[in-house]
Amino acid sequence: MDKEREKGGRLEDLPVIATPEMEGTTKRVVFGPGRFWDDYVVRFFTTRSGSRTPFHSHDWPHYILILEGQVKGTIDGRTCELEGGCWAYVPPGVEHVFENVGTGDLKFICMVPKKGDPFDEGKL
């Protein structure tokens, strides 16, 4: 089915977008420019056990929904453990890091404004 007519499907069936800066992680774009939502990008990430991001910050917010697995997150100096069914908010300009501390994959949705994810629309 072509993407203009596609109105639903499995997250794991979406094309993988290369993320060389995030070892052990796959990224798929659910919604974004050229895919039903021009202002934001909704990404579906799967990370292997033990994978983590470096401490970093951006000038845009993150809206995160944990679907499956266990993650230890530090946001603005506060550390907490989250699991499937939890959410997190990262304000703009705040240092943050996330680590998959579970024994299996961590699956989560992360929404950012368009400027927060300059993905290649042509690959969708």
Chain segment 15-52, per-residue pLDDT in tens? 998 787 778 899 999 999 988 999 999 999 999 999 98
Please list, in sequence order, all residues whose beta carbon lies within 8 angstroms of the beta carbon of residue 11, skipping any fewer than 6 positions away.
Answer: 28, 30, 44, 107
Note the CATH number of domain 17-118: 2.60.120.10
Q: Where are the domains of the chain?
A: 17-118
Digit-coded pLDDT (tens) for 60-91? 999 999 999 999 999 999 999 999 999 999 99
Distances (CA, A) of 8 to 1, 3, 4, 50: 11, 10, 11, 31
Whole-prediction pTM value? 0.89
